Structure 1
Amino acid sequence: MGIPPIILNEFDIPVAITYGNHDTEGQYNRQYLRDAEAKLNNLANKHHSYLVDDRENYTLEIFDSETDRLVNVIYVWNSGDYSNWSKISKYAAIGRHQINWYAKTSNQPFNKTFDIGFLHIPLAEYLAVNKEQVVGSYNEKPCPATINSGLFHELLVKDKVKAIFAGHDHDNNFASEYFGIQLNYGNVTGYNAYGRLARGVLAIDLYNDKVERRIIKF
């Protein structure tokens, strides 16, 4: 099956991708999606790429344009789709190998950095967010994996990642904080999915000591 034309190639903007639970429900598997991704003209420069259980995890490195000093590391986890143990959890959890990958990668001799992370299915800690103390829209209960595999604990131990961004729950686009780590949602973009939120994107301004976010509606 050939790779169709890719609309992202019309824009001179670096692109980084991770997949969600719906992306391979049709005729395309993750290998096909990765093959299509490889055809991008401006694919972001991945580091520490690690493919496990058909999920690719990698980092992006951001350097200060004036000093060429590494100031941010962006961790990207492919959170998979559905659990192998449907009676316990509908959605897949971040795997132990993925947590070990983060533990090892975050030990690299980086400069002191302000790091963030992206995944599709939110972590179980999103359930601890107080609905009355968020910025943005909290319109549905978060739907993480029922199993808490421990990534958030590793983030606390390493004390590098200061914000996590998830998708998955289309009626949420809120930001909150839990034990010093910002828990965020993006914003539903497509029109072929459920959700009452106005379609748009989450824009993130990343600095060497903070992250700011804003919703841009279509």
Structure 2
Amino acid sequence: MLKISHSLPLMVLFLVGTFLVKAQNAETLRFNSSGEYKILQLTDIHINLDEGIRVEGIETAGKVIDIEKPDLVVLTGDIATDGNPASTYDAFEKLFEEKKLPWVVTFGNHDSSADMKRKEVAAYLARLKNCLNVKEDDTDGENNFAMPVYGKDNEQKALLYFMDSQEYSTLKPLVGGWGWFTHNQVEWYRQKAAELKKEHNGKVLPALAFFHIPLPEYYAAWSNKKIKAIGTRKEKECAPEINTGMFAAMLECGDVMGTFVGHDHYNDYIGVHYGIALAYGRTTKYGKGRKHPLPGGRVIVLKEGQRGFTTWIREVTGKKLQESQYPESFLPKNE
């Protein structure tokens, strides 16, 4: 039994309690009796609950959840972008409590624009019962962690990475634009992948990665002439100007099958670059004009014991779009 001295600071007690709760929650991520694990990605909702801005995003999320009945919901950034983010996240926690679902948030560039600092939002999320957010080790950013998905034999069968893709360039005015993964984060990923490979006697678990800002390699996936991307591209990829090598690290480590981002509201495609699927979610907010897609989410279904997944877009209307299978739908035409 764990014994805790009353002389320990309250913060230590909080951290210990959080660790135990998160460890217990992590074990709830497991393939169902049919050998499937379904993830719903929602993104770029831009809610200000206190001022009534885009509050329909929570209802939209609920409708898509009811259609798909996922095992996990991942919010890939730009969620509570103004006002008091605690109100918005409390509303999401209430929704996920009602649906009996665990959820995760990866921060976008706008998630520090509200009344709470990024670190404060991370600490707030860590206290919510159904939210699985934690911060592993001394990594840059506020939500870099990995979670296994267990099989029916209680062994780890797949892995999910969640990462903070930062905010804006830290080299202005020389370099403008969006933020990028720091070398600290790239090294964290490499070490995590190596540790897990060692734990599994040299076997690499099939993995997915979720974050907000697309990697610079996304345009290469869209423009791949041998393997056509599936979905739509209605705006230029807003990737960082600096490439710190996260994609190269994933390629070398060999575990990540696909990455799933938001950020660009008019893009929802999935393509491949050197065998890794690079995908956008579907924005979960209503927009203006014909260019903006209907809100919804991206669904990803893992299969136990297989290195692959099925994915599609689900609109709030119930319409299912762009279903594909990785890797089958993305093999070169001459194969």
Fold match by TM threshold 0.5: yes
The structure where strand makes up a greater share of residues is 1
User: Looking at CA atoms only, which structure, 1 or 2, has the larger radius of gyration?
Assistant: 2
| Distance change >3 Å, CA 187–CA 3, structure 1 → 2 | closer
The structure where helix makes up a greater share of residues is 2
- CA offsets per residue over residues 195-218 of structure 1, 9 Å max, x none? 611100111101232111111111
- Correspondence 1:30-49 to 2 at 5 A: 30-44=118-132, 49=136
| Residue 193 of structure 1, CA deviation | 8.4
- Correspondence 1:13-162 to 2 at 5 A: 13-44=101-132, 49-64=136-151, 66-86=152-172, 87-108=174-195, 109-111=198-200, 112=203, 113-131=205-223, 133-162=228-257
Residue 295 of structure 2 is aligned to residue 199 of structure 1: yes
Query: For residues 141 and 181 of structure 2, what CA distance do their matches in structure 1 show?
Result: 12
Residue 304 of structure 2 is aligned to residue 209 of structure 1: no
Structure 2: gaps spanning 5 or more residues = 1-83, 317-335
Query: For residues 78 and 148 of structure 1, what CA distance do their matches in structure 2 show?
Result: 15
SS at match of 1:38: helix
| Residue 140 of structure 1, CA deviation | 1.1
The residue type paired with residue 208 of structure 2 is I
Cα pair 2:141 2:165 within 8 Å, conserved = no
Residue 92 of structure 2 is aligned to residue 7 of structure 1: yes
SS at match of 1:78: coil
From 272, 275, 279, the counterpart of 1:180: 275
User: What is the number of residues matched between the two proteins?
Assistant: 216
Cα pair 1:205 1:212 within 8 Å, conserved = yes
C-alpha root-mean-square deviation of aligned residues, in Å?
2.2
- Aligned residue in 1 for 2:264: 169
| Residue 134 of structure 1, CA deviation | 1.2
TM-score w.r.t. the length of structure 1 is: 0.90
The residue type paired with residue 16 of structure 1 is V
The residue type paired with residue 34 of structure 1 is A
| Residue 192 of structure 1, CA deviation | 6.7
Cα pair 1:51 1:57 within 8 Å, conserved = no
Cα pair 1:50 1:56 within 8 Å, conserved = no
Runs (4+) off by over 6 Å:
192-195
Q: Percent identity?
A: 26
Asked which structure has the greater RCO (Cα within 8 Å, sep 6+), the reply is: 2
| Residue 163 of structure 1, CA deviation | 0.5
Query: For residues 139 and 263 of structure 2, what CA distance do their matches in structure 1 show?
Result: 21
| Residue 52 of structure 1, CA deviation | 3.2
The residue type paired with residue 118 of structure 1 is F
- CA offsets per residue over residues 33-87 of structure 1, 9 Å max, x none? 11321232212375x71353443210011011x2112111111110011011133
Query: For residues 90 and 217 of structure 1, what CA distance do their matches in structure 2 show?
Result: 30
| Distance change >3 Å, CA 45–CA 2, structure 1 → 2 | closer
Structure 1: gaps spanning 5 or more residues = none
